[in-house]
């Protein structure tokens, strides 16, 4: 996804000299072509994310379209107050780009797991929160985000859902319907959609047809597909490579309840409000912490009150 993002950014930077990419001294081997082609639209702020983000706000308020780039929590939690006060309160056109959503850097340890970012960023007024599920979707959303001024967060994953390209089906601010179904609805965010797809295949073998929704735009979260899912299907199961507190499940539950569309049953699949203490690759950690396809299928069975 990071390569897709940079590829799209280069196309845009060619057309728009106001675009500035600022890295917090990360992106080895990824940013080289961009830096060569657009040296005047690039800054390395050094290992100094607070300054990077304040600087980004200052540039944005003077007319630049700014992207701050780093991995894990370094463009978000490390400089959260700069995002809140300098970027969001001033409605500055800054996109914080984080490479490595969830367990993307699974071997690096908890410092590099981005597993609270969605909840925290979602709580910032004016902030748009995006987590694509595929590299091609990243390109589409990056392009659409550029046309929407204001503060944005782009969470990029090492994994990918592996869906066929369908650009017309991806719209910023809309929930994508990946697969239709009546028995229950699985709502996902980001590349962990791949696990939901596998879970849905397993459920289908048991005669359970799962609807799958991909909420690549967590904020603003589109209401209609979720309300329809609550009303038309037997349960909503939310899946996120993220703490179950404050992220997708919280957002979906609040939205449905406020719309008077309480799901008949509800489950949150994700990280159970803890810090992982072991490492491994992304697939390993998804399984170890209960958010792989089998855990999702299990949650779906439980939500429907049927034995697996």
17/272 with CB nearer another protein: 17
Q: Applying CB under 8 A, what is the total number of residues that bind another protein? A: 24
To the nearest whole angstrom, how small is the minimum distance from the Cβ of residue 203 to another protein?
Answer: 49
């706000």: which residue's tokens? 57
- Which region, judged by CB under 8 A, interacts with another protein, from 47-55, 174-182, 249-257, 259-267? 47-55
**Shortest distance in whole angstroms from residue 307 CB to another protein:** 54
> What number of other Cβ atoms are within 10 A of residue 147's Cβ?
8
Q: Please, which residues have CB within 8 angstroms of residue 304's CB and are 6 or more apart in sequence?
A: 183, 184, 208, 234, 235, 265
- Our CB check for another protein shows the closer of 55 and 197 to be 55
In the shown chain, the binding pattern of residues 87 to 126 toward another protein, with x for contact by CB under 8 A and - for none, equals: --xx------------------------------------
Say how far apart CA 300 and CA 62 lie, in whole Å. 50
> C-alpha distances in angstroms, 256 versus 118, 158, 185, 228?
19, 30, 13, 9
177 scored as a contact of another protein (CB under 8 A): no
* Least distance in angstroms from the C-beta of 7 to another protein: 25
* Chosen residue from 53, 115, 142, 217 binding another protein by CB under 8 A: 53
Q: Which stretch binds another protein (CB under 8 A): 54-62, 120-128, 158-166, 271-279?
A: 54-62
Q: Please report how close the Cβ of residue 40 comes to another protein at its closest, in angstroms.
A: 8
| Partners of 237 in beta bridges | 186, 267
Mapped onto helix, strand or coil, the DSSP state of residue 113 is: coil
CB of 96 to another protein, least distance (A): 15
The residue among 20, 49, 12 whose CA lies nearest residue 143 is 12
Which of 32, 85, 111, 254 contacts another protein by CB under 8 A? 85
Alpha helices in 178-288 (DSSP H): 193-205, 224-232, 248-258, 282-288
Backbone angles phi, psi at 210, to 5 degrees: -90, 135
Q: Which of 195, 216, 196 is nearest to 284 (CA)?
A: 195
Residue 269 binds another protein, judged by CB under 8 A: no
Query: Rounded to 5, what percent of the chain is helix, strand, coil?
Result: 40, 20, 40
Q: Which stretch binds another protein (CB under 8 A): 61-69, 170-178, 225-233, 281-289?
A: 61-69
Among 48, 163, 245, 255, binds another protein (CB under 8 A): 48
Q: Which is nearer to another protein, 91 or 209 (CB)?
A: 91
Applying CB under 8 A, the residues found at the interface with another protein are 40, 45-46, 48, 50-51, 53-64, 81-82, 85-86, 89-90
């Amino acid at each position: 996804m990071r390569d897709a993002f940079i590829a799209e950014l280069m196309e845009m930077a060619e057309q728009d000299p106001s675009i500035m990419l600022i890295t917090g001294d990360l992106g080895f081997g990824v940013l080289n072509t961009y830096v060569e082609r657009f040296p005047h639209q690039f800054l390395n702020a050094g290992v100094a994310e607070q300054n990077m983000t304040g600087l980004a706000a200052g540039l944005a308020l003077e007319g630049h379209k700014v992207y701050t780039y780093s991995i894990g929590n370094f463009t978000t939690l490390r400089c959260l107050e700069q995002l809140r006060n300098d970027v969001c309160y001033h409605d500055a056109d800054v996109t914080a780009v984080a490479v490595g959503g969830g367990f993307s850097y699974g071997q690096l340890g908890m410092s590099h797991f981005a597993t609270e970012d969605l909840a925290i960023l979602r709580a910032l007024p004016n902030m748009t929160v995006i987590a694509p599920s595929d590299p091609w979707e990243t390109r589409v959303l990056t392009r659409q985000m550029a046309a929407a001024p204001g503060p944005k967060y782009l969470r990029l994953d090492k994994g990918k859902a592996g869906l066929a390209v369908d650009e017309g089906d991806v719209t910023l601010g809309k929930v994508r319907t990946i697969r239709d179904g009546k028995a229950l609805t699985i709502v996902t965010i980001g590349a962990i959609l791949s696990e939901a797809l596998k879970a849905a295949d397993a459920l289908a073998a048991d005669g359970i047809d799962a609807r799958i929704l991909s909420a690549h735009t967590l904020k603003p979260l589109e209401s209609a597909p979720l309300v329809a899912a609550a009303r038309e299907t037997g349960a909503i199961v939310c899946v996120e490579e993220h703490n179950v507190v404050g992220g997708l499940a919280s957002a979906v539950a609040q939205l449905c309840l406020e719309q008077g569309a309480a799901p008949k049953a509800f489950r949150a699949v994700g990280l159970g409000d803890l810090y992982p203490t072991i490492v491994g690759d992304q697939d390993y950690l998804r399984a170890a912490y209960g958010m792989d396809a089998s855990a999702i299928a299990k949650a779906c069975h439980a939500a429907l009150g049927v034995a697996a």
